[in-house]
Chains A and B, each alone.
Chain A
Amino acid sequence: MPWTRDQMAARAAQELRDGFYCNLGIGIPTLVANHVPPGMSIQFQSENGMLGMGPFPFEGEEDADLINAGKQTVTELPTTSFFDSAASFAMIRGGHINISILGALQVAENGDLANWMIPGKMVKGMGGAMDLVAGVRRVVVLMEHTAGGKPKLLKRCTLPLTGAGVIDLVITELGVFEVAHKGRDGGLRLVDIAPGVTVEEIREKTEAPFTVAEGLRVGV
C-alpha cells in the first residue's frame, strides 16, 4: 500500500536531527511539524520573519500580527524571535537553516527542481522557494509520485526551474530516493519503498532511471 500523506510526512520527519532549524513549505510539508520525534528540539522558521513557530492559536486568540509564510495565524513559543525579511533570508541564503522540506511539480535525476510556474497558466510567483533551495544545506522534496498519471521524477525537468542541482532527497507515496552527486551528474537511488509496492511498479511510474539500494528498506 502506498503511504498516506501523513506517513509521507512522518518519513520526512526522520530526516530531522536534534537542534535543527527547519523551514517547511506549504501543502504536505506542513504536516511534518506533527511528526517531530519526542524529545527532539526543532525550531521551525517562517520566512516572513519568525523563528520558533508555534501551533495554530485557540479560537479567539488569533493575532493579525502573528502569521506564517502561508499567511495563516500561528503562535509564539518561549524560543521565538522576530526579524525583518532581509535577516530572514540571510538565515536561508547564508546556509544557517539545516533543512528545507517542500513540494514539487517536477524533480530531475540531477537534482533540478521545478515548482513555481507552468507556462501558459497564471504565474503567481516563486515567493521564497528559489532562495530556500539555493541556500539551505539539505533540501527534501515531499510530493505525489505522478500528476494526472504522468511521472514527476524525470531525466530532465520540462518546466522552468526553481533551482539547478539543489535536491538531496525525494519522498513520494511509493518510495524514497536519494539524489547522488547533487549539482553534478546526479543519479537517483531508491532507498525506501512503501509496503506492498514493487520496484517494477515504481519503474513504470518513473521516467528517470534509478538504482536500488542494497538493503532497500521497506517503510511502514
Chain B
Amino acid sequence: MAVNKIYKDSVAALADVLKDDMTIMSGGFGLCGIPDALIEAIRDSGVKGLTIISNNAGIDDAGLGLLLQTRQVRKMISSYVGENATFAKQFLAGELEIEFNPQGTLAERIRAGGAGIPAFFTATGAGTQIAEGKVQQEFDGRLYVQERGLRADLAIVHAWKADPEGNLVYRKTARNFNPIMATAGEITVAQVEHLVESGSIDPDHIVTAGIFVNRIVPLQTVNKRIEQRTVRPRA
C-alpha cells in the first residue's frame, strides 16, 4: 500500500495539522464515543482560538471539557452543553461564544457539508428565534428555514474497528456523530479500539468507507466513562 494511514499515537497523527484559530469537529454524544486521546493531544499541543463543532461540550474533567479548562476554545457549535460547569462560567464571563443548533439541524448540516451540499431547508426551528436572520421559504404550504452545510479543517472521531485502509465500524450508540463528521473534515483522524488486518471486516458491515479517513490511531488503552450510571435491581 503506497499511503500509510496508520500513526503510532494521537500526538504524531495531529502534529502537522493543528494550528491556532482552526475549526475542529469532534464526534461523540455526551462522553459516549468521544475521541478522547485525540482531544488530549490537542490540549497538550497548546493550540488555541479553536472553533469546536460537537453535539456536547463534555464535562468539567473529561472530553472537550479539557479544552475549556485550558481556555483553548473560542467558540462552540453545539446542541446541548448542560453538563459542564466550566462552560457555564466562561460563557457568563463572555470568554466563550456559543452557537446553538437543534441536534437534527447540526447533524444534517454536517452530513450536507460532507456531501458538498452548501444549504438545505428544514421545518425545524421555523417560527422560532433559531430562524431569525435566515432565509425562510414556504414549500407545499409549510414554512421551512434554510440552514448551511458545515465543514471543518479537522474532524476527530472514535471507532471500534478499523482496517489499514481506514474502513471503520462503530459499536452501539458510540456511533452517533462520528460517521457524519468523518465525511466533513478536510483531514479526518480516527482513533480506533482495534486495528485489524485488511480483509477481516466484512465489506457489508463497514459503516465509514476508508475514503473519508486520512489517519488512523490505534489506541493502546481504551478509557470509557459512564456519565449517568443507571441500573435496575435483579429480580
Binding site for B on A (CB under 8 A): 46-50, 55-59, 61-74, 76, 82-86, 88-89, 92-93, 122-131, 134-135, 160-165
Chain A residues closer than 8 Å to B231, beta-carbon distance: 56-59, 61-62, 73
The answer, among B82, B103, B173, B207, for a CB contact under 8 Å with A65, is B173
Is B232 in contact with A56, judged by CB distance below 8 angstroms?
yes
Is A130 in contact with B102, judged by CB distance below 8 angstroms?
yes
Is A73 in contact with B229, judged by CB distance below 8 angstroms?
yes
Chain A's interface: helix, strand, loop or mixed, by majority? loop
B151 within 8 A of A: no
Chain A residues closer than 8 Å to B224, beta-carbon distance: 64-65
Which A-chain residue is minimally distant from B112 (CB atoms)?
Answer: A86
A-B Cβ contacts below 8 A, count? 175
Binding site for A on B (CB under 8 A): 29-33, 55, 78-83, 88, 91-92, 98, 100, 102-108, 110-111, 122-130, 160, 170-180, 207, 224-234
Which A-chain residue is minimally distant from B235 (CB atoms)?
Answer: A58
25 A-B pairs (CB sep. < 8 Å) = A46-B173, A49-B173, A56-B232, A59-B233, A62-B229, A62-B231, A64-B226, A65-B160, A67-B29, A67-B173, A71-B83, A72-B228, A72-B230, A73-B230, A84-B180, A85-B107, A85-B180, A86-B107, A88-B104, A92-B104, A122-B91, A122-B92, A135-B123, A163-B127, A164-B127
Is B30 in contact with A71, judged by CB distance below 8 angstroms?
yes
Is A131 in contact with B173, judged by CB distance below 8 angstroms?
no
Which B-chain residue is minimally distant from A126 (CB atoms)?
Answer: B102
Is A88 in contact with B107, judged by CB distance below 8 angstroms?
yes
Is A48 in contact with B176, judged by CB distance below 8 angstroms?
yes
In whole angstroms, what is the CA distance A165 to B104 when docked?
19
Is A125 in contact with B80, judged by CB distance below 8 angstroms?
yes
Chain A residues closer than 8 Å to B207, beta-carbon distance: 84
Chain A residues closer than 8 Å to B225, beta-carbon distance: 64
Nearest Cβ distance between residue B157 and chain A, in whole angstroms?
11
Is B124 in contact with A135, judged by CB distance below 8 angstroms?
yes
A82-B232 contact given A48-B32, A125-B81, A161-B129, CB 8 Å threshold? no
Is B176 in contact with A56, judged by CB distance below 8 angstroms?
no
In whole angstroms, what is the CA distance A134 to B123 when docked?
6
Chain A residues closer than 8 Å to B171, beta-carbon distance: 65
A85-B176 contact given A56-B230, A72-B230, CB 8 Å threshold? yes
Is A130 in contact with B232, judged by CB distance below 8 angstroms?
no
Chain A residues closer than 8 Å to B29, beta-carbon distance: 48-49, 67, 69, 71, 85
Nearest Cβ distance between residue B35 and chain A, in whole angstroms?
14
Chain B residues closer than 8 Å to A71, beta-carbon distance: 29-32, 83, 227-228
In whole angstroms, what is the CA distance A158 to B96 when docked?
27
In whole angstroms, what is the CA distance A48 to B31 when docked?
12
Nearest Cβ distance between residue A108 and chain B, in whole angstroms?
12
Chain A residues closer than 8 Å to B128, beta-carbon distance: 130, 160-164
In whole angstroms, what is the CA distance A122 to B88 when docked?
7
Chain A residues closer than 8 Å to B32, beta-carbon distance: 48, 64-65, 67, 71
